[in-house]
Amino acid sequence: MGKPLIGVMPQYNAQNENIMIVSDFFHAITKAGGIPVLLPLFSDVSDVERVLGRFDGFLYPGGPDINPLLFGEETRTECGNIITERDTLELGLMPAILCSGKPVLGICRGIQAMNVALGGTLVQDILAQRKDGGMIGHYQKAGDTVLTHSVRVEKNTLLYDIVRKERLTVNSFHHQSCKTLGEGFALNASAPDGIIEAAALENHKFFLGVQWHPEHLYGVDKDAARLWNAFIQSC
């Protein structure tokens, strides 16, 4: 068999109207043995569904906030930029992707999109909604490859099967997080303050979302490399 073809959900820079992807996503997929292909953004979802069968797996990357109306909430003042086209594409394609049973990896916004697609909800702003005194820094000021906080990995989960350890250190660039998990989306890891850091869909070959950014860590962190390798191998 040849290298697996990975359909990558596009990012979008609203300021200059560029459809794009952070290059680290493509580098990580390539280094792990896959071939990344960027999906179109400004297309009818049904048009994109026609080509899904050509892909062996899918990546949901990071990006702006998901519209809270899509998970049954009014928008708080702390909610950031919303790109309707991304919400429409990513959530609109999810039923067909789930039906295919093909592997999916979600990163940062990606785990949040996966959760909303499964009926879950989000914390719109961690600092505004989680004033519990034990908060750690989820939006670090350090560089992309700096590991700034730990996560506790649940045993007997997909993530544990990949990394084979109960504690990871990760980088972190998010102000939102999963609140209630969608149907079948099981907790795989959490931060010391209880923020959900990873979840996987039960009874699925590989449907895993993480809140940190392993795309920046592939070449410098063995656990990140294991995650990417496991994803590509599952495809």
Residue 188 and residue 221: Cα distance in Å, rounded?
Answer: 19
CB 10 within 8 Å of CB 62: no
pLDDT digits (tens, 9 = 90+) for 3-13: 999 999 999 98
H or E element: which one contains 48?
helix 45-49
Q: Which residues are catalytic?
A: 108, 213, 215
What's the Cα-to-Cα distance from 176 to each of 1, 79, 194, 196, 216, rounded to whole Å? 39, 9, 13, 10, 19
* Range 33-38 average pLDDT: 98
Mean pLDDT value across the chain: 95
* Burial of 93 (C-beta count, 10 Å sphere; 0-12/13-18/19+): buried
Mean pLDDT on 165-172: 97
Lowest-pLDDT range, 17-21, 65-69, 207-211?
17-21
Residue 102 is predicted with a pLDDT of: 97
Q: What is the pLDDT averaged over residues 113-120?
A: 98
Angstrom CA distances, 53 to 48, 58, 101, 161, stand at: 10, 11, 11, 28
Q: What is the CA radius of gyration of the chain?
A: 16
Ramachandran category for residue 33: left, alpha or beta (phi over 0 → left; psi -120 to 50 → alpha) = left
Residues β-bridged to residue 37: 7
State residue 132's pLDDT score.
62
215, 107 in Cβ contact below 8 A?
yes
SS3 track for 78-138: CCCCECHHHHHHHHHHHHHHHHHCCCEEEECHHHHHHHHHCCCCEECCHHHHCCCCCCCCC
Position 1 pLDDT exceeds 70:
no
pTM, two decimals, is: 0.96
pLDDT of residue 133: 45
C-alpha separations of 88 from 108, 110, 170 in Å: 18, 14, 30
Cα 130 to Cα 123: distance, rounded to the nearest angstrom:
9
pLDDT at 134: 53
